[in-house]
Amino acid sequence: MTNYSDSFLGSINGENIHYGTPINPCAADRVPGGSSSGSAVAVGAKLVDFSLGTDTGGSVRVPASYCGIFGFRPSHGAITESGVTPMAQSFDTVGWFARDPKTFTSVGRILLQLTEVSAVRATRIIIADDCFRLSSTPFDLITQVVTKAAEKLYGGDVLKHENLGDYVKDNVPSLNHFMTKEKTDQVYNIPSLAALSSAMRSLQRFEFKSNHGEWISAVKPNLGPGISERVSEALYATGEDTDICHAIRRELRDALTSLLGDFGVLMIPTVPGSPPKLQTDPSELEVFRARAFSLLSIAGVSGFCQVTIPLGMNNNLPISVSLLAKHGADGFLLHLVENLYDSIKQEEAAAVSNPKNIS
């Protein structure tokens, strides 16, 4: 792994000034994703069959997407964090990476201590249309093979569409505390999810300060550009919004549980586009970063489980999609991925042989 605080503190790149940046096996001139990029690169480069990672703000989901492999953020609390230094305990999780779905699910069953259970049919797959508008990757390129695979397995009735931003705004009233009145272009921002990201980072900063503030103030470690500035911000966290943040978590979990039911999943882009180039000026990445954390905060705040599924390459860069299931439905989500992925690969092969199938 690289710097554990990299993704939590706002850099989802994985660039490391102290030990060097792991080389993205899919695109050597692109970032590998933070912070568990070392683990992801080892899997993507076929050095190991699987690896572990930590995910507080996106540190498994993002490098999995950037390196073209599977990544799993479990339901919060589903896997023990014993022996892991806490970063922000309301969000810390231990996840994992693999290249193929069978290895991926086998590792998951062990980590989650799952017994063999009978297959459960997905009752709904909800496509968050507005979230896909945040991505620079064409909507059909990400969703078409997945939706076709789902139709073959479960029938067309399972597919639903939702404007997730409006749904969250209507069903998570405590978010009003973080909603801004500034008018923003909807292409780049979903106000309720931007507010959700703000709530997540507010609570993360306060918990980080509680865990590490005294040590940082005493030792004054050299954390490198970007990270250093965000650590300084965290040291000024007051915790005044803590109760509201916990209320948002409860409301969001209830709202999404109602939306998905016991055996439904939410489909969103993992990240808002291709992995950025190495050493890109941080100011140029600000919109990308803001959109990324709007997407990453959905599972982060709700505590839901989320899987990153690789979908091959586009313009020589990896693309992926994410599925989320309710808190505690990790086994269901794992089985769904294993069941769905063979059909996804068949649809990808058909699309390659007949490009006109992709609009």
Residues 38, 40, 45, 49, CA torsion sign: positive
* Range from 151-165, 183-197, 209-223, 321-335 carrying the lowest mean pLDDT: 183-197
Note the pLDDT of residue 1: 38
Residue 8 has a pLDDT of: 45
Contact 40, 63 (CB under 8 A): yes
Domain map (residue ranges) of the chain: 37-353
Distance separating alpha carbons of residues 232 and 228, to the nearest angstrom: 6
Q: Judging by DSSP bridges, how do beta strands 264-268 and 124-128 pair with one another?
A: parallel
CATH topology of domain 37-353: Amidase signature (AS) enzymes (3.90.1300)
The SS3 assignment for 24 reads: coil
State pLDDT tens for residues 143-194: 999 999 999 999 999 999 999 999 999 999 999 999 875 554 555 689 999 9
Query: What is the distance between the alpha carbons of residues 350 and 352, in angstroms, rounded to a whole number?
Result: 5
Please give the average per-residue pLDDT across 37-46, as a whole number: 97
pLDDT of residue 227: 73
pLDDT at 332 over 50: yes
Average pLDDT over residues 346-358: 72
DSSP secondary structure code for residue 277 in this structure: B
Distances (CA, A) of 293 to 48, 96, 209, 232, 264: 29, 20, 20, 20, 23
Q: What pLDDT does residue 16 have?
A: 62
pLDDT mean over 106-118: 88
Least confident of 4-8, 177-181, 325-329: 4-8
Mean pLDDT of 50-73: 97
Average pLDDT, the chain: 90
- Quick one: CA torsion of 261, 53, 334, 148, rounded to 10 degrees? 90
Q: In terms of pLDDT, which residue wins out, 134 or 349?
A: 134
Dihedrals phi, psi of 35, to nearest 5 degrees = -100, -15
Q: Lowest mean pLDDT: which of 73-82, 102-111, 169-178, 230-239?
A: 230-239
Q: Which residues lie closer than 8 Å to 211 by C-beta, 6 or more apart?
A: 86, 87, 88, 89
pLDDT in tens, 119-128: 789 999 999 9
Count the neighbouring beta carbons within 10 Å of the beta carbon of residue 246. 14
